[in-house]
Structure 1
Amino acid sequence: MLTHLTLINFALAEHLAIDIEEGFNVLTGETGAGKSLLLDALSACLGERTDTNYVRYGAEKADVTATFSYKDGSAEALWLKEQELDDESGEIHLRRVIFATGRSKAWINGRPSSLSELKEIGRLLVQLYSQHSQQQLLEPPYPKHWLDRYSNFHAPAQAVRDAYSKWQKDIRQHQAALDAQATRKQRIDTLNLQIEELEEVVQVDYSEIEQEFDRLSHHEHIMQDCGYGLTALDDAEQNINQEVASILRRLESHSGRSEKLSEIYTSLVNAQSELDDATSNLRHFIDKQSFDPERMEELNSKLEVFHRLARKYRTQPETLKEEYEAWQTELEQLHQLEDPETLAEQVEASHQDFLGKAQHLDDIRREASLPLAKHLTEQVKQLALPEAHFEFKFEPLEQASSEGLSFIQLLFTANKGIPPQPLARVASGGELSRIALVMQVMNAEKTESEVLVFDEIDVGISGGTAEIVGRLLAGLAQHVQILCITHQAQVAAQSDQHLLVKKRQTDPASSTILDLEEDDRVLELARMTGGIEINETTLQHAKQLRQLKFQPA
């Protein structure tokens, strides 16, 4: 539930802090007062697009925060836990800062977040319905989407889309196999020849034979330099090992007189040990070395083969083994490719799977459409359309799609004895707005969100129709929190909390939002019904509207 909104330098709001109550909340005010302030601020906190117009004139940035309460185990609670954003307060704080330069920053429970994260949590918290929603009714996919949403057909509809995707993928694989069939045998023959040519060569490690050849090529110099090193270390009359031993004997008696000298003595002891090991290993290395001209010739021949094949296949000698392994992998894949006939069987199997799922979806849609059209008819009849009648029409598609087997239309008539026609063809603007409103309320009954926002969805209605709309929203507010911008006094009169937006003639201009007590609510309802001049008649009418709130429907 939305509990609090704070707006700082946001559009016409210099600094506003508003507590939002549970139940049915309405927002009213004169034209131009800034009634959209709260909804724009809330939308910003939910990750919607913003621009510099939201920054109050003369300010560097706008800062808005929305606070929500939530229940343990709810979808938003699980989301927060997954993101490690939950805390002990049991609240969600969504903050958005919009800079005059056009940039913006966002936080969730104090942690910097991306707009995509705001949108994710926002979709779980709030559902927004606008006055422009009636235009959606005229879009061809809307009746199907509305039917699926109301009837909770998301899972079978997604299963159909997945099955269709699998079928199309199998078709593409089958076609690719047909296209590749002609060149497949030729490529296999080529790979076999290449692999055969490299098979013996790659059994040898190129880097090892290259290093061995290099060592034999420099055998004489290696022996000379190693012999010089061994003589200097151990064989000369005044050799390095003896000199180190002499130094250690001289320092040993003094090492206990200085901590630093003791460290130096220890280092020299370690160095002597390393020199002894090096001397022993060098002597062993010299004893093991011998020059083998035949081995050198053999290595040279192998290296020539490596370089020849590397030039042939336009690579480096050391990467020939990688090329060989890549060819083997490709050859295995070509052998594993299923022939077109097998793939054709897969295409048919996935096609039948799609048709089965699509037929099931079509059947449950048809079954659900009858009671849903009847329920919609009953709800719309209350809005001054006593002869309204709705039907869903299913027309088989020439070619099945990921959306199913049928094109679904919503048919409507407002006149007795006149057959229903497609909604877009026969419904007037006023009728569309009422139908859209009822469909949105019906959808809202099925939503998991705890906050529903209605932005002037009652445009085009008045009088008794508006009163019924108010009762519909008030009934819905028994289960969820509603925030509604309205121009209709009959709707506002049914609310639990009434927020009034007023423009103040400051410099620059600003808006404020007042939480109205009962007497002020009556005055505002009187203004909404009677205009600027409020008299006893309009006041009495406003009081009667409020009394209807507490009367049984």
Structure 2
Amino acid sequence: MLKTLLVQNYALIDTLEIDFHQGLNIITGETGAGKSIILGALGLILGNRAEATVLKEKSKPCVVEGTFNLAGYSLQDFFVDNDIEYADLTTIRRHINPAGKSRAFVNELPVTLSILKDLVSQIIDIHSQHQNLLLADGKFQLSVLDSFTDNLQQLASYRDSYQKYRSLTSELENIKEKASQAKADLDYLQFQLKQLNEAKLKSGEEIELESLQQQLSHAEEIKSNLQSAFTLLNADESSILIWLKEAVSSLSKISHFFNPAEELQARIESCRVELKDIAHEVEMQNERVLLDPAELEAVTQRLDMILSLQQKHRVSSVDELIEIREKLDVQVNEITNYDQVVSQKEAELEKITKLALKQAQEISDTRKAGSKKFEDSIKALLTQLGMPYADFKVNFEPLGELRPQGIDRVTFLFSANKQMPLNDLSKIASGGELSRLMLSLKSLMVKTKGLPTIILDEIDTGVSGEVADKVGNIISSMAKSMQVINITHLPQIACKGSHHFLVYKDQEKETTETRIRLLTSQERITEIAKMLSGEKISEAAITNAKHLLGSELN
């Protein structure tokens, strides 16, 4: 249950702290006093959108903090799953800075809004005035029925299967679309791949071929110059090697009496040996160089073919062509394997579709099996609320396909009077009838959900007199098993509370502030008398207020 609500710097609130109690907490106040402001502040710790416009003092942050007693509600697993420290007295806080940025905390640990909403949805439910419009919403109607028939675990399992079903359906459609597009290009891709495979390309070969082409193109010139070099080195008696040999011989004749001659002889001999080796290499290279027009033609054709492929694929090297060939190979393999992939995905989709349909049918069966008890419960509550001839029925229509909520379309049919045909309640129900019907639904929902707290914001709209008293009895009955915080304008309902808070505007300072205080017994009599007769309180109103409160007349 909600024990304490602290609000700072929100709308007309400077600082406000409220201690709520178990049972039925009543909040009253004049129109415009700020009841909706307090509700809006509470909405922030329930995960509602935060904006800087709510700040009373624009240069200061807004803080809203609620302390909840969670003992006995088995929420420890949620805290463990989300790495939050559990405490029976748990504090939830929302902080909004002047720039409009907000942060959420649970027991002083920062949490995401998603986690915050998941937590508070298990702690508190707020019924605001506009929620009566939800009665016409098919999703809301289904959620009410599912809550009553305790389908929530089944729905969680089904939604997991449904998400997989949707994901696989989308994935299969994408694969089929890609396969269709790719198959249209398959012949061309295979032709390109075949052309590159037949080229038998080798990394860097164009450099070797260009060098070989140069050599073959100038073979005659190469051989002529190699032969000339060999002749100069070693071909006849006037060659360099013969002259060096004679130089060595000349120096050897004087080396025994001229010491420098020996070193010079050795150096010349070294040069002669090296040049002799060079002459041999030149001769061998000359023999290797062939005049081969056929090979030159083959090399030229190979280079032309490589250049043609490079131009076609808009690249500048054989390595890039090889990379394209490998990518084409992967593409062609993927396309040729699409049929297998499609078959595999279709099998997966068929399996998850069967599971989802089975789960959806089980949920539908549970809904239909529980709908009669649900209808009877609503009619019994409506009878208590002064509508003895009201009729209520849950109408089922098959959707014919899987949807997030299953395979049912549910419509609540309603008739307020005897012998009036059932019809869609959004078309025939008045405001007061909608309020009583919503109260009946909420009454059933909170019992099945087992929530610690529910806040009712003028759920009594459109009712008065004896009906208002009966509405109060239903709300009072709800408060026996949970905490109820009820905002009301009706004295017949206000008198049912175990604690009564008054919201009012304090205009004694420079700025108007919204305040709230717990009324004493005497103040409560005065407040309810004012609700009965207006600002000018009569003795009859006082007497009536005491009667409503069950007080003894003094």
Report if aligned partners of 2:44, 2:64 keep a CA contact under 8 Å in 1. Answer: no
Change in Cα spacing, 1:72 to 1:146, as seen in structure 2 (3 Å) is closer
The 8 Å contact of residues 22 and 481 in structure 1, kept in 2 or not, is answered as yes
Give the drift of 1:53: 4.3
**Residue 533 (structure 2) pairs with residue 530 (structure 1):** yes
Contact 1:164 1:401 in 2 (8 A): no
Q: Deviations over 1:160-190 (max 9, x none)?
A: 7447636844873685388358526525624
Matching residue of 1:189: 190
Provide the aligned length of Structure 1 versus Structure 2. 462
Question: Which position in structure 2 is the counterpart of 1:513?
Answer: 516
Q: Alpha carbons of 1:120 and 1:96: their partners in 2 closer, same or farther (altered >3 Å)?
A: farther
Match of 1:467 in 2: 469
Q: Using the TM superposition, name which of 444-453 and 185-194 deviates more.
A: 185-194
Contact 1:54 1:98 in 2 (8 A): no
Residue in structure 2 matched with residue 287 of structure 1 by the alignment? none
Asked whether 1:5 is paired with 2:2, we answer no
Displacement of 1:389 in angstroms is 1.2
SS at match of 1:479: coil
CA distance in 1, matches of 2:204, 2:20: 76
Q: Which residue of 1 aligns with 2:425?
A: 423
Tell me if the contact between 2:371 and 2:394 (Cα under 8 Å) persists in the aligned partners.
yes
Change (3 A) 1:327 1:426: same
1:337-367 CA-to-partner distances (Å, cap 9, x unmatched) read 2269958975777665555444433333222
Match of 2:379 among 370, 377, 389: 377
In the alignment, does 2:101 pair up with 1:104?
yes
CA contact (8 A) 1:160 1:404 kept: no
1:23–1:480 CA contact under 8 A, matched in 2: yes
1:64 maps to 2:63: yes
Superposed CA deviations along residues 394-420 of structure 1, whole A, max 9, x for unmatched, are 2344x5352544432211112223332
Residues of 2 paired with 1:375 and 1:360: CA distance?
Answer: 23
Change (3 A) 1:439 1:336: same
**Aligned match of 1:540:** 543
Counterparts in 2 of 1:81 and 1:94: CA distance versus 1, 3 Å: farther
Letter in 2 for 1:332: N
Determine the C-alpha separation between the residues in 1 that align with 2:303 and 2:484. Answer: 82
Cα contact 1:23–1:478 (8 A) shared by 2? yes
Identify the range of structure 1 (370-379 vs 331-340) with the bigger mean alpha-carbon deviation: 331-340
Q: Kindly report which structure 2 residues correspond to 1:341-380, keeping only aligned pairs within 5 A, or say none.
A: 342=343, 346=347, 355-380=357-382
| Amino acid corresponding to residue 524 of structure 1 in structure 2 | E
The verdict on how the C-alpha distance between 1:97 and 1:368 changes in structure 2, with shifts beyond 3 A counting, is same
Aligned to 1:92: 91
Q: In the alignment, residue 327 of structure 2 is paired with which amino acid?
A: A
CA distance 1:66–1:372, change in 2 (3 Å): same
How far apart, in 2, do the equivalents of 1:149 and 1:184 lie?
A: 54
Amino acid corresponding to residue 103 of structure 2 in structure 1: A
2:180 corresponds in structure 1 to: 179
Write the distance in 2 (CA, Å) between the matches of 1:467 and 1:315: 88
Mapped partners of 2:84, 2:204: distance in 1: 54
Counterpart amino acid of residue 510 in structure 2: D
For 1:487, what is the secondary structure of its paired residue? Answer: coil
Q: In structure 2, how many angstroms separate the alpha carbons of the residues matched to 1:11 and 1:166?
A: 44
Corresponding position: 1:334 with 2:324 = no
Q: Go from structure 1 to structure 2 and tell me whether the alpha carbon gap of 1:359 and 1:310 turns closer, same or farther (over 3 Å shift).
A: same
Instruction: Output the CA distance in 2 between the equivalents of 1:72 and 1:305.
Output: 83
Q: Deviations over 1:308-331 (max 9, x none)?
A: 755543356555565444333333
CA distance 1:304–1:452, change in 2 (3 Å): farther
Which SS does the other structure have where 1:337 is aligned? helix
Whether contact under 8 Å (1:44, 1:96) holds in the other structure is no
- Which amino acid in structure 2 is aligned with residue 333 of structure 1? E
Per the normalisation by structure 2, the TM-score is 0.70
Change (3 A) 1:74 1:307: farther
SS in 2 for 1:36: helix
In structure 2, C-alpha distance between the alignment counterparts of 1:187 and 1:413, rounded to whole Å: 69
Mark the CA change 1:330 to 1:529 in structure 2 (over 3 Å): closer, same or farther. same
Once the two structures are superposed, residues 187-237 of structure 1 have per-residue CA deviations (whole angstroms, 9 ceiling, x without a partner) of: 562464266257x546x599x99xxxxxxxxxxxxxxxxxxxxxxxxxxxx
Mapped to 2, the partners of 1:205 and 1:529 lie a distance apart of: 100
Query: d(CA) in 1 for partners of 2:482 and 2:423?
Result: 35
Judged with a 3 Å threshold, the aligned counterparts in structure 2 of structure 1 residues 493 and 325 are, in CA distance, closer, same or farther, namely: farther
- Report the Cα offset of residue 159 of structure 1: 6.1
* Structure 1 residues not aligned, in runs of 5+: 210-292, 295-299, 549-553
* TM-score calculated relative to the size of structure 1: 0.71
Decide whether aligned partners of structure 1 residues 182 and 121 sit closer, same or farther in structure 2, where only a CA change above 3 A counts: same
Where structure 2 has 5 or more consecutive residues not aligned to the other structure, the ranges are: 209-284, 289-298
- Residues 345 and 21 (structure 1), Cα distance of their counterparts in 2 relative to 1, 3 Å cut: closer
Contact 1:489/1:525 (<8 A) preserved: yes
What does residue range 92-491 of structure 1 map to in structure 2 within 5 Å?
A: 92-99=91-98, 103-108=100-105, 109-111=107-109, 114-154=112-152, 155-156=154-155, 158=159, 161-162=162-163, 165=166, 168-169=169-170, 172=173, 176=177, 179-180=180-181, 183=184, 185-186=186-187, 189-190=190-191, 192-193=193-194, 196-197=197-198, 201=201, 311-315=311-315, 317=317, 322-338=323-339, 342=343, 346=347, 355-397=357-399, 399-402=400-403, 403-447=405-449, 449-491=451-493
Displacement, 1:390?
Answer: 0.8
The CA deviation at 1:50 is: 3.5
3-state secondary structure, aligned to 2:544: helix
One-letter code of the match for 2:457? D
> What whole-Å deviation, never above 9, does each CA across 1:255-298 have from its counterpart, x for those lacking one?
xxxxxxxxxxxxxxxxxxxxxxxxxxxxxxxxxxxxxx99xxxx
* Paired AA for residue 103 in structure 1: G
Instruction: Please provide the CA RMSD for this pair.
Output: 4.3
User: Which residue of the partner structure matches residue 236 of structure 1?
Assistant: none
Q: Deviations over 1:14-72 (max 9, x none)?
A: 2212222233222111112111232111112333124444222x552352232333547
Letter in 2 for 1:467: D
With over 3 angstroms needed to count, the CA separation of the structure-2 counterparts of 1:320 and 1:442, relative to structure 1, is farther
CA contact (8 A) 1:160 1:358 kept: no
Larger Rg: 2
Displacement of 1:139 after TM fit?
A: 2.9
Residues 1:345 and 1:89: Cα distance change in structure 2 (over 3 Å): closer
Q: Determine helix, strand or coil for the equivalent of 2:67.
A: strand
Q: Which amino acid aligns with 1:545?
A: L
